[in-house]
Chains A and B, each alone.
Chain A
Amino acid sequence: MASVFELSEPYRNHLVAVLPAGRGVCATCWRAVDPGYRLCYPCQVTHDGYGGRLAEVVVPVALAVKRQQLAHELWHYKYDPDQRVRQMLEIRLAAVLWRFLRQHEPHVAAAVGVPRFDVVTTVPGTRPRDDDHPLVRIVGTHVGQTRDRYQPLLGLGPDASVEGRAVLVNRYRAAQAMTGHPAVLLVDDTWTTGGHAQSAAIALHDAGAASVAVVVLGRHFDRNFGSGETYYQQAKARTFSWYTCCLELVPPAGPTPA
């Protein structure tokens, strides 16, 4: 038996949470944004184009800092050629997700105005694979918090093979109409610009979901991009805790990154 606590606890040594909501932080994806702007440019463009069809809230467990451990694991759990590596990372990341959702799913649900999510699903992978996507196993099998509510709601749409990270209405397609208008928790591993997760949220809304919240294990982060280093240093100074998520964090009193 692998214990969620034992596998997830060492992540406290290297996880870095996103900065709290507020000035200088994108209200959707939590990256650094110029003061005076509520959304970063990609999120603003997406919002202008799709508005209410997008996810109501996006919650990253932590920053997936380029060339650091979480970003490494989020790639290697899917693509490492060594099956042992993939399997061990899959279980560890499942422990991280379980630990996070056990503590914070009520906060994510409250952010979209529901007491609990009716259904949990994943953003489908767009690279061809011989086996099930490991994120499906994480959400549908390993994580006790989600396995009973997991449904494979989405399949690939006609634009699934379009390269890049653009939001595309036809990147994914709901398997069927959701007549019960459920509240959906949509899980993805990495958020870069949100193109895939938001395309999935659009497909879910269009198929009848009453609300869609996205939880991602890692929010991709490049310290060398824009004011990334300033943001990173501020975020790193706030010790990661399993007991606080970005929806609860109080903005710092000091200046926020430019």
Chain B
Amino acid sequence: MTRAEQAALVAWLRRPGVVWSAVTEQLEECGSVQKATAAQSPAQGSLFEAARTDGPDEAARDLQRWDRAGIRMVCVLDAEYPSNLRMIHQHPPVLFMRGSADERDVTSVAVVGTRQPTPRGIDQARQLATGLAANGIPVISGLAAGIDTAAHTAALMAGGRTVAVIGTGIDRVYPPQNAGLQEEIVAKGLVISQFLPGAPPTKASFPMRNAVMSGYALATVVVEAADRSGSRIQASLALQHGRHVFLMCSLLEHKWARDYAERPGVTVVETAADVFAGLQRLASESTDLVWA
């Protein structure tokens, strides 16, 4: 995608009232930013034309600034857009990335849980992430306090790959105490945000982030989560996406987890080995379909 197209897309996303899911649809239907933006505003002239002819407008200047900060923008029309994420209906029109992409991420696992974990939960998250990393499975999480931090940190300590999908603009850190961890993940893995740089954390942004995390990973493991938690939301979203959900057996003390355990596409697990065993079947991309 050319820089002019990127600038037109950023300008489009910044327009008041724009529904980002509609932007995704328009981009995919039209196949180019130029055609999609032209289709959006036939009476006012194309945004693409405006972005191309109006000189170094704000979006173009921001793109240069983001470049200098090591932030790259990947649009749904780009080959680099993660293919797992393409398969879910809640895939955003753009992703902002810092760090390195890796083909292994198609078999990655999201490890999620509460921001206020028990020592047992922390231990479970660490063991899980360490075990996954030992088997070459990238660990995806949300860089939040608690379980997310434990999972990212353990994966890094085990020498594995980890990816953080964050709920703010990629140039921000939330919670602030994870600034160092975020930079380490940039250096050794990948940080992804679906929000424009500068975007603050909001009540809505974290569930949106959970949808992208579910879509990026092959499956989600919920470690420790209360009734009303982002992790439970992610489990629900993953099932809506047709993705597999693993529940740590200790979650069965919650009614919501017992209900989920009865649903198709949900497996109760105790160890990373259980998750790894389940992944072997999920990761199959055979095109030889049999009645079984």
Binding site for B on A (CB under 8 A): 1-7, 9-14, 67-69, 71-73, 75-76, 79-82, 84-85, 87-92, 94-95, 98, 102, 142-144
Q: Which residues of B contact A12 (CB under 8 A)?
A: 263-264
B265 contacts A by Cβ under 8 Å: yes
Of the candidates A10, A69, A142, the one whose C-beta lies within 8 Å of that of B89 is A69
Given A79-B28, A144-B289, 10 extra CB contacts under 8 A: A1-B286, A2-B287, A2-B289, A5-B292, A14-B239, A69-B89, A69-B242, A80-B28, A87-B287, A143-B289
Residues B242 and A1 in contact, CB atoms below 8 Å apart: no
B265: chain A residues at CB < 8 Å are 9-10, 13
Are B285 and A87 in contact, with the CB atoms below 8 A?
A: yes
Kindly list chain A residues whose C-beta atoms are within 8 Å of the C-beta of B239: 10, 13-14
Known interface pairs A13-B240, A81-B77; A4-B86 also in contact (CB < 8 Å): no
In the bound complex, do residue A84 and residue B83 qualify as a contact, i.e. CB atoms below 8 Å apart?
yes
Query: Binary interface profile of B, 18-55, with partner A (CB < 8 Å = 1, else 0)?
Result: 00010001001000000000000000000000000000
A87 vs B110: C-alpha distance in the bound complex, in angstroms?
23
Interface string of B259-292 (1 = CB under 8 A from A): 0000111000000000000000100111111111
CA distance A11 to B28 in the complex (A): 24
Interface residues as binary, B190-229 with A (CB distance below 8 Å gives 1, 0 otherwise): 0000000000000000000000000000000000000000
The answer, yes or no, to whether B152 is at the interface (CB within 8 Å) is: no
Contacts of B28 in A (CB 8 A): 75, 79-80
Contact between B290 and A72 (Cβ–Cβ < 8 Å)? Answer: no
**Contact: B285 with A84, CB < 8 Å?**
yes
B290 contact from A3, A84, A89, Cβ within 8 A: A3
* Docked complex Cα distance between A4 and B264 (Å): 14
Are A94 and B289 in touch, CB under 8 angstroms? Answer: yes
- Residue pairs across A and B with CB atoms within 8 Å: the count is 95
Q: Counting CB contacts under 8 A, is B232 at the interface?
A: no
Residue numbers of B with Cβ under 8 A of A are 21, 25, 28, 77, 79, 81, 83, 86-89, 239-244, 263-265, 281, 284-292
A-B contact pairs, 21 of them (CB 8 A): A1-B286, A2-B284, A6-B281, A6-B292, A7-B289, A13-B263, A13-B265, A14-B241, A67-B89, A69-B88, A72-B89, A76-B86, A79-B28, A80-B28, A81-B77, A81-B79, A82-B83, A85-B87, A87-B287, A88-B285, A144-B290
Q: Which of B81, B87, B289 makes the CB contact (< 8 A) with A76?
A: B87
Q: B87 is contacted by which of A9, A10, A89, A144 (Cβ under 8 Å)?
A: A89
Which among A72, A87, A89 has the greatest number of chain B C-beta atoms within 10 A? A72
A4 CA to B89 CA in the complex, in Å?
A: 22
With CB as the reference atom, state the residue of chain B lying closest to A11.
B242
| Structural contact, A144 and B89, CB atoms closer than 8 A | no
In angstroms, Cα B86 to Cα A85, docked, is 7
Measured between beta carbons, the chain B residues less than 8 angstroms from A88 are 87, 285
- For the complex, give the distance between the alpha carbons of A79 and B77 in Å: 12
CA distance A22 to B82 in the complex (A): 44
Bound complex: CA A13 to CA B214 (Å): 15
Give the complex CA separation of A67 and B25 in angstroms.
9
- The 9 A-B residue pairs with the shortest CB-CB distance in the complex, in nearest-first order: A72-B89, A10-B265, A13-B239, A9-B264, A3-B292, A2-B286, A85-B86, A142-B289, A82-B83
* Chain A residues within 8 Å of B284, by CB: 2
Q: Please pick, from A13, A76, A98, the residue contacting B242 in the complex, using a CB distance under 8 A.
A: A13
Alpha-carbon distance A12/B239, docked complex (angstroms): 9
CA distance A12 to B81 in the complex (A): 28
Contacts of B287 in A (CB 8 A): 2, 87, 90-91, 142
Residues A13 and B77 in contact, CB atoms below 8 Å apart: no
Quick one: closest A residue to B87, CB to CB? A85
Between B77, B87, B243, B292, the greatest number of chain A beta carbons within 10 A of the residue's beta carbon is seen for B87
Find out whether the CB atom of A2 lies under 8 angstroms from the CB atom of B87.
Answer: no
Report the separation of the CA atoms of residues A82 and B74 in the bound assembly, to the nearest whole angstrom. Answer: 14
CB distance from B72 to the nearest CB of A (A): 18
- B289→A91 contact, CB < 8 A: yes
A248 to B118, CA, bound (A): 50
